[in-house]
Amino acid sequence: MRIIVSGAAGFIGSHMCDRLLAEGHTVVGLDNFLTGAERNLAHLKGHPGFQLIRQDVTQPFAINGQIDAVLHMASPASPKDYLEHPIETLDVGSAGTRIMLELARSHHARFLLTSTSESYGDPLVHPQVETYWGNVNPVGPRSCYDESKRFAEALTMAYHRTHEMRTNIARIFNTYGPRMKLNDGRVVPAFLDQALRGEPMTVFGDGSQTRSFCYVSDLVDGLCRLMESDERYPVNLGNPQEMTILEFAERIRRLTGTKSQIVHRPLPQDDPKQRKPDIGKAQSILGWQPRVALEDGLRQTIEYFRCA
């Protein structure tokens, strides 16, 4: 297939390009490098199946030739990034999604949207199952991301219903691995960076909020399976192994052997108190579940950050 990937220079987007190329597909990557990094794709320079175009997908553009699939992965995704770029975040989820859907429609291509567990907001149902509608503050600081992705989901469903397009929606939970930005503020790079430098590890609040972490290769595998499936409604992709952020900090301390102390910082506004995917749907529809153990994934990630 010839596949268009928006957000190709991002953390997950770049791993997706690798996977698609390894499967023999041709990939056209789009990125405006607002939060993506050219170095994430440096190893693909000169690859005969890969083309990278610097493009803001909220602005009109054309791509000639056959297109079989459109993967819309572009968006600031870390709380620090979307708080810094709230309008761009809303734009790429709204105007950007519309443009990418039109691209798919005009080429009779399939379309996949990478949405987020943030669609559930600060959830009142635990673990989060796809049928839960969420608890989102529409005017809070995180709303630029949550509502943008919720709009993108709604638009995708509208295109599916109106134009009978083949669409898929993934709700991605916390994912980690090599090529995360060291300074994007997310907990995995933040803790690893602090631990490797021997600096205090900043746990926000009392650290009792929970998350679960999926290794990027598992996530990309789930996305590829979803793209092949007939499921039109959202599917959670993430690792259901839940832990508190304080426990997570302790694990990173043990794994890195750091002498860093844990310090507490104020909890950001609207920081979800608990998050854990119910992956029953992905298991039954896609035959998918994460395979990489946290310790193994973290070792790979630590290796990357040591060299970064």
Among 82, 120, 132, 145, the one annotated catalytic: 145
Question: Is residue 84 within the footprint of ligand UDP (CB under 6 A)?
Answer: no
Q: Which helix (H) or strand (E) is 169 found in, with range?
A: strand 167-172
Question: Is residue 15 within the footprint of ligand UDP (CB under 6 A)?
Answer: no
Question: Is residue 10 within the footprint of ligand UDP (CB under 6 A)?
Answer: no
d(CA 214, CA 202): 21
Site string (157-196) toward ligand UDP, x via CB under 6 A: -----------------x----------xxx--x------
Q: Phi and psi at residue 234, in whole multiples of 5°?
A: -60, 145
Question: Is residue 85 within the footprint of ligand UDP (CB under 6 A)?
Answer: no
**Helix, strand, coil share of the chain (percent; to 5):** 40, 20, 40
Site string (238-257) toward ligand UDP, x via CB under 6 A: -------x------------
**Could you tell me the smallest distance in angstroms from the CB atom of residue 295 to ligand UDP?**
19
**Could you tell me the smallest distance in angstroms from the CB atom of residue 250 to ligand UDP?**
12
Number of residues that bind ligand UDP (CB under 6 A): 15
- 103 within 8 A of 89, measured Cβ to Cβ: no
d(CA 294, CA 213): 7
From the list 72, 85, 179, 211, which residue makes contact with ligand UDP (rule: CB under 6 A)? Answer: 211
Residue 265, classed as helix, strand or coil, is strand
Which long-range contacts link 286-289 to residues 24+ away (Cβ below 8 Å)? 286/222, 286/225, 286/226, 286/229, 286/231, 286/235, 287/225, 288/221, 288/222, 288/225, 288/237
Q: Which helix (H) or strand (E) is 130 found in, with range?
A: none
**Could you tell me the smallest distance in angstroms from the CB atom of residue 162 to ligand UDP?**
32
Query: In terms of DSSP bridges, do strands 69-72 and 50-54 run parallel, antiparallel, or are they unpaired?
Result: unpaired
From the list 151, 204, 233, 304, which residue makes contact with ligand UDP (rule: CB under 6 A)? Answer: 204
Site string (22-61) toward ligand UDP, x via CB under 6 A: ----------------------------------------
Residues 263-282 that bind ligand UDP (CB under 6 A): 268, 271
Tally of CB atoms within 10 A around 160: 18
**Could you tell me the smallest distance in angstroms from the CB atom of residue 112 to ligand UDP?**
21
Query: In terms of DSSP bridges, do strands 262-265 and 2-6 run parallel, antiparallel, or are they unpaired?
Result: unpaired
> Annotated catalytic, 145?
yes
Nearer residue to ligand UDP within complex by CB, 268 or 280: 268
Site string (115-154) toward ligand UDP, x via CB under 6 A: ----------------------------------------
Nearest partner of 289 among 298, 300, 277, judged by Cα? 277
**Could you tell me the smallest distance in angstroms from the CB atom of residue 248 to ligand UDP?**
8
Residue 72, classed as helix, strand or coil, is strand
Q: Taking phi first (over 0 means left), then psi (-120 to 50 degrees means alpha), and beta for anything else, what does residue 200 get?
A: beta
From the list 209, 217, 239, 260, which residue makes contact with ligand UDP (rule: CB under 6 A)? Answer: 209
- Residues of this chain that interact with ligand UDP (CB under 6 A) are 78-79, 174, 185-187, 190, 202-204, 209, 211, 245, 268, 271
Catalytic residue numbers? 145
